[in-house]
Chains A and B, each alone.
Chain A
Amino acid sequence: MDNTLSHEQHAQIQAHIQAHQHVPGGLMPLLHAIQDDIGYVPEVVYPEIAKALALSVAEVHGVVSFYHHFRTHPIGKHVLQICRAESCQSMGSAKLEAELKAKLGVDYHQTTADGNVTLLPVYCLGNCGCSPAVMLDDEVYGRMSADKVTALISEVCHG
């Protein structure tokens, strides 16, 4: 996948850096803002972030890499997160995981061949009363089966 930034993306990142430069503890909100817009936190902008926030590049790298949520490379158009926590396990999430991996032809942290879906594990979506749960982009779905998830994916991919 293309990892170079467009001028527009770079301008967006610049604007976010300026907006967060003087916010106390501003690095986390800044990283969120960048990832929300660009889809990931490009490593090429670490030096600019570091300079603006008076940090070392190593510190910026340290923070990005500590948190599961942040990623440094582009991903698929949609993100599917399958809950792996205990409540979902009690309702058969291990089977759901295996079936979805087989159906999508990917393992965790991989993207489908058509570039549509990136599969991620997640540890609890707070929907433990309706296990097993998945999250597709920003929406949570409960009492899922592989067929139901596949139907949801084709709905978001093909409208």
Chain B
Amino acid sequence: MVKIYVPIDSTALSLGAERTAKKIMQEAQVRGVEITLVRNGSRGLFWLEPLVEVETAQGRVAFGPVQPSDVAGLFDADFTQAQADKATAHPLYLGLTDALTWLKKQQRLTFARVGITDPLSLEDYLAHDGYQGLKNALAMSGADIVKAVTDSGLRGRGGAAFPTGIKWNTVLNAPAEQKYVVCNADEGDSGTYSDRMIMEDDPFVLIEGMTIAGIAVGATQGYIYLRSEYPHALKTLNEAIRKANLAGYLGENIQGSSHTFHLEVRRAAGAYVCGEETSLLESLEGKRGLVRFKPPLPAIEGLFGKPTIVNNVISLATVPIILDKGAQYYADYGMGRSRGTLPIQLAGNLKHTGLVELAFGATLRELLYDYGGGSASGQPIRAVQVGGPLGAYLPESQFDTPLDYEEFGKIWAVLGHGGIVAFDDSVDMAKMARYAFEFCAVESCGKCTPCRIGSTRGVEVMDKIVLGKNHPQNVQLLRDLSDTMLNGSLCALGGMTPYPVLSALNHFPEDFGLSNKEAAA
């Protein structure tokens, strides 16, 4: 019986994958063609979604994008015999999936299984190297596991890029009866969706990573703090956790060992600031998501006052391959102090959007043009925001910057969570600067004054600048205000809102009604 794959990932669903899947089942039944329909994750080529794949002796063959109205035609072309002449002549035929240029050039480590397996099949996960990392970890001491993570060079993929191993080591050495592992799955940055894809398309890899973290530092309880905007991820995670418990991969005596690790998903409630780790912990404790002062670090006094690892989804989902293939294998990818790979998310006004996992070091230009294919509108790409709503806007002159934490730091930009949002030449950068303040005002937790008040004053001063009122004074005021927010805010929300604002002002002064000289004043 031929296997047909139709993705169940949210993005594929948002483009009609559910109806396509139903139509394929109906049509197969009517025509008496025997098929097995597998709902896989997305391969991450969003302009081809819903991407339908057919298993053949040579490998999986792709057709896309397949709308329900295309299904009858595909059956007419005997697409289940995907390598026969009749099927290869179909206009939606794309050839072997693995041979598609977009995928062939990628270095998928964290995303190795995404799009290939059925997300909720534990058998599939095991058959594709799943739980090899845990197997190795169970034979190691906590200190050795932490050392492997440290040696891999893995840094926090949520955006802050703090070395994961150092965080783990602090928790390992903090004596306490109870410790916690918390996964930050409050992926609120515009232009990012890699966390969502991992949770929906390969949930066991996150569960495995958290379990390894728990075993390493002696934590027996884990929480995944998941944003409420991801209902599909919630269902998938809960089901995967249920299956992992049944199979002895969670709970007590994991795989016959003396280790215990319980895992639970907790839903967030639409507050962007709860992506900040201390605000997240407050929220998990059932409180308002107010940012905490640091120190104490969460690694010393975290959830319910206990030592806590707080890591992003991608950081935790990368741990299994490090423990499976070894720290050096992972560290061999990348450049400078940015080791390993980064799952990059192409978004916004691009012809080809989707997930590209590459070793650090590729340039923005390669991603925007070689992968992204230029703008979707056909107009020139004018500005690119990297790293979410708190990331800087980059002009064309900076497109040759390699994706590397330090290289981005040098041009006063951030790599963040690896989201890249492209804008064509219709963008008004003064509006985007105003929006950055507006967003900060909506999402500020209100604890510190620079963020709470500064964001609203920022909207006001931007309005005056756009209207051309007292330009030199108001631009000076904008810079002063940004300086206060940068240096006086408690967390990155207020502290980094000046990144999009000032980068827009510095690189695109004409949108503020200013000459270069006036903008610099």
A residues whose Cβ falls under 8 Å from a Cβ of B: 24-29, 31-32, 53, 59, 62-63, 66-70, 85-91, 122-131, 133, 135, 138-143
Structural contact, B190 and A128, CB atoms closer than 8 A: yes
Closest-CB distance, A29 to chain B (whole angstroms): 7
Structural contact, A87 and B348, CB atoms closer than 8 A: yes
Q: What are 30 A-B contacts defined by CB distance under 8 Å?
A: A25-B286, A25-B304, A29-B267, A63-B286, A66-B445, A68-B270, A69-B228, A69-B271, A85-B389, A86-B191, A86-B348, A86-B435, A90-B348, A90-B422, A90-B427, A123-B389, A124-B190, A125-B229, A126-B193, A126-B196, A126-B230, A127-B10, A128-B353, A129-B346, A129-B353, A130-B49, A139-B14, A140-B11, A141-B14, A143-B15
Structural contact, B229 and A130, CB atoms closer than 8 A: no
Q: Mark B176-194, 1 if CB is under 8 A from A, else 0.
A: 0000000000011111110
With a cutoff of 8 Å between Cβ atoms, the chain A residues found around residue B229 in the complex are: 122, 124-126, 135
In the complex, what distance in Å separates the CA atom of A26 from the CA atom of B286? 6
Extra inter-chain contacts (12) besides given A32-B269, A66-B445, A123-B439, CB under 8 Å: A25-B286, A29-B266, A67-B269, A86-B435, A90-B422, A91-B376, A124-B188, A130-B11, A133-B14, A138-B231, A140-B11, A142-B11
Structural contact, B15 and A142, CB atoms closer than 8 A: yes
Structural contact, B288 and A142, CB atoms closer than 8 A: no
Structural contact, A28 and B188, CB atoms closer than 8 A: no
With a cutoff of 8 Å between Cβ atoms, the chain B residues found around residue A62 in the complex are: 288
Interface check B503, CB cutoff 8 A? no
Interface check B419, CB cutoff 8 A? yes
Interface size class of B (residues with CB under 8 A): 35 or more
Structural contact, B288 and A66, CB atoms closer than 8 A: yes
Structural contact, B46 and A130, CB atoms closer than 8 A: yes
Structural contact, B267 and A28, CB atoms closer than 8 A: yes
Option from B188, B230, B304 in Cβ contact (under 8 Å) with A123: B188
Across the interface, name the chain A residue whose C-beta is closest to B352. A129
Structural contact, B289 and A86, CB atoms closer than 8 A: no
Structural contact, A127 and B269, CB atoms closer than 8 A: no
Structural contact, B188 and A127, CB atoms closer than 8 A: no
Q: Which of B404-454 contact A (CB under 8 A)?
A: 419, 421-424, 427, 432, 435, 439, 442-443, 445
Closest-CB distance, A89 to chain B (whole angstroms): 7
In the complex, what distance in Å separates the CA atom of A118 from the CA atom of B170? 47
With a cutoff of 8 Å between Cβ atoms, the chain B residues found around residue A124 in the complex are: 187-190, 192, 229
Structural contact, B424 and A90, CB atoms closer than 8 A: yes
Structural contact, B348 and A128, CB atoms closer than 8 A: yes
Structural contact, A70 and B269, CB atoms closer than 8 A: yes
Interface check B20, CB cutoff 8 A? no
In the complex, what distance in Å separates the CA atom of A113 from the CA atom of B266? 35
Interface check B104, CB cutoff 8 A? no
In the complex, what distance in Å separates the CA atom of A126 from the CA atom of B435? 19
With a cutoff of 8 Å between Cβ atoms, the chain B residues found around residue A129 in the complex are: 11, 46, 193, 345-347, 353-354
With a cutoff of 8 Å between Cβ atoms, the chain B residues found around residue A88 in the complex are: 190
Interface check B13, CB cutoff 8 A? yes
Q: Mark B248-288, 1 if CB is under 8 A from A, else 0.
A: 00000000000000000011111110000000000111111
In the complex, what distance in Å separates the CA atom of A128 from the CA atom of B442? 20
Q: A87-B348, A135-B229 known; A130 and B270 CB under 8 Å?
A: no
In the complex, what distance in Å separates the CA atom of A124 from the CA atom of B390? 14
Across the interface, name the chain A residue whose C-beta is closest to B228. A69
In the complex, what distance in Å separates the CA atom of A86 from the CA atom of B438? 12
Most chain A beta-carbon neighbours within 10 Å: one of B269, B284, B288, B385 = B269
Interface check B341, CB cutoff 8 A? no
In the complex, what distance in Å separates the CA atom of A61 from the CA atom of B389? 29
Structural contact, B193 and A86, CB atoms closer than 8 A: no
In the complex, what distance in Å separates the CA atom of A85 from the CA atom of B421? 10
Interface check B164, CB cutoff 8 A? no
Structural contact, A128 and B14, CB atoms closer than 8 A: no
Most chain B beta-carbon neighbours within 10 Å: one of A62, A69, A86, A125 = A86
Structural contact, A28 and B269, CB atoms closer than 8 A: yes
In the complex, what distance in Å separates the CA atom of A147 from the CA atom of B267? 32
**Shortest beta-carbon contacts, A-B, top 5:** A27-B286, A85-B190, A67-B269, A128-B347, A129-B353
Closest-CB distance, A54 to chain B (whole angstroms): 11
Closest-CB distance, B302 to chain A (whole angstroms): 12
In the complex, what distance in Å separates the CA atom of A140 from the CA atom of B8? 12
Q: Mark B7-21, 1 if CB is under 8 A from A, else 0.
A: 000110111000000
Closest-CB distance, A139 to chain B (whole angstroms): 7
Interface check B349, CB cutoff 8 A? yes
With a cutoff of 8 Å between Cβ atoms, the chain B residues found around residue A29 in the complex are: 266-267
In the complex, what distance in Å separates the CA atom of A11 from the CA atom of B462? 51
Structural contact, A140 and B14, CB atoms closer than 8 A: yes
Closest-CB distance, A130 to chain B (whole angstroms): 6
Structural contact, B269 and A69, CB atoms closer than 8 A: yes
